[in-house]
Amino acid sequence: MKTRISKAMATRLIETGIALTSINNLDELLEFIVHEARGLTKADAGSLYIVNGSNLDFLVCQNDTLTRKVGADAERGLFTVYSIPVSKQSLAGYAALTGEALNFPDVYNLPPDAPFSFNKEFDRRNGYRTMSMLNVPMKAPDGAIVGVLQLINSLDHNGEIMPFEDDMVAVVQALASQAAVAVKNAKLTAALMDAHLDTIFRLAVAAEYRDQDTARHIQRISEYTKIIAKSMGLPGRDVILIGHASPMHDVGKLGVPDSILLKPGKLTPEERVEMEKHTVFGGKILAGSESEILRLSESIALTHHEKWDGSGYPYGIKGGSIPIAGRIVAIADVFDALSSPRCYKPAFPMDKVLAILEHDTGIHFDPDVSKVFFGNLDEIQEIHRRMKESG
């Protein structure tokens, strides 16, 4: 088959390839792949299946005609995530199993000897007519099939349905291979990120357990700080980062002796000095990392006991010179500590907790952060209720 790819198309393919490498979020990436493939082939609709063991998970469905008919919001309700087996019985399954692209002008009139059939259920339910269809396997360079890209109803200038040109098959195959690499990378990145976050979380739990605190405390701190950061207008990325970094605020307690950390009564002034060192220990444990999350954790570990008026520790810095993340964790941590039971005290009643926070605003807490905290009190209390200590 001789392929004629126009210069404009080649340029678009290259641009798409570059764009593919910059998207890390898997869902976003899959939507983008279908969108670009549809743009190249002028397809009214498109779907994407990802290989999951011996199944194909149907994950993306875009359909201009149905979106116009029902609106974008309702459209999402039309498609449900489902799985089909990788087998010769379905068009997508066949493409995934054999690595062959399938191009048919009308899927209602498939060759009688074909092993696959077209499932008309979706069309029937939504009043749609699938006619021309191109199924292209997403093949990675090592030959593994990552998924199947399915393009539906190629449209001409007048919006009439026509077959997908044979030339297009090679173009979509090129895109599908690039997409396969991007999907593999995105999955790998997600797996690494999960492992990274899991390690961080376990480290934080280890530190808190020594202090009779709980894993729940850490999870709640993560949720509170995200709400406050978001409401303060921090960029979305920073909100996510603070949610991952804040659980490690007390990781330096790993360096405080048990005799002090677990002492039931009041600490002597010397013991207090030792206890306060958990901020500096935490900073040291977390220092020098390339990871953005760990760098933010370091800053939080060091500054979550600083106070707005400069009377905190370890450095006694004040006001805006305390990093914003430290100021946010300060109020979240105090709120959670006061409102939760500890081995040395019961939970304070909520009105008492709030009175203390209010009183300490401008002394301990940044007035702006405090304002946002109280502005989101319902949601914060809801998290506190939902993620209560168990047992």
SS3 call for 212: coil
Closest-approach residue to Fe ion (CB): 250
Distance CA 328, CA 98 (A): 55
Distance CA 337, CA 334 (A): 5
Q: Decide whether 238 or 336 has the Cβ nearer to Fe ion.
A: 336
Min dist CB 230 to Fe ion, Å, is: 21
Q: Decide whether 211 or 238 has the Cβ nearer to Fe ion.
A: 211
Stretch that binds Fe ion, among 174-182, 228-236, 248-256, 284-292 (CB under 5 A): 248-256
Q: Decide whether 139 or 277 has the Cβ nearer to Fe ion.
A: 277
Size of residue set near Fe ion by CB under 5 A: 2
User: Where are the extended beta strands (E) located within the chain?
Assistant: 43-52, 55-63, 82-85, 102-104, 133-139, 145-155, 161-162
Min dist CB 279 to Fe ion, Å, is: 6
Min dist CB 89 to Fe ion, Å, is: 56
Give the CA-trace dihedral at 287, 290, 292, 295, to 10 degrees: 10
Helices (H), 253-317: 258-261, 269-276, 278-286, 292-303
59 within 8 A of 52, measured Cβ to Cβ? no
251 within 8 A of 207, measured Cβ to Cβ? yes
Min dist CB 217 to Fe ion, Å, is: 6
Min dist CB 362 to Fe ion, Å, is: 21
Q: Decide whether 93 or 243 has the Cβ nearer to Fe ion.
A: 243
Place of tokens 């006694």: 316
Among 250, 298, 306, 366, binds Fe ion (CB under 5 A): 250
Stretch that binds Fe ion, among 102-110, 150-158, 245-253, 290-298 (CB under 5 A): 245-253
Min dist CB 335 to Fe ion, Å, is: 11
Q: Decide whether 223 or 333 has the Cβ nearer to Fe ion.
A: 333
Min dist CB 304 to Fe ion, Å, is: 6
Q: Decide whether 86 or 332 has the Cβ nearer to Fe ion.
A: 332
DSSP string, 74-129: HHHHH---EEEESSTTBHHHHHHHH---EEES-TTS--TT-S-B---HHHHHHT--
Site residues for Fe ion, window 306-365 (CB under 5 A)?
333
Q: Decide whether 50 or 204 has the Cβ nearer to Fe ion.
A: 204
298 interacts with Fe ion by CB under 5 A: no
174 within 8 A of 131, measured Cβ to Cβ? no
For Fe ion, the binding residues (CB under 5 A) are 250, 333
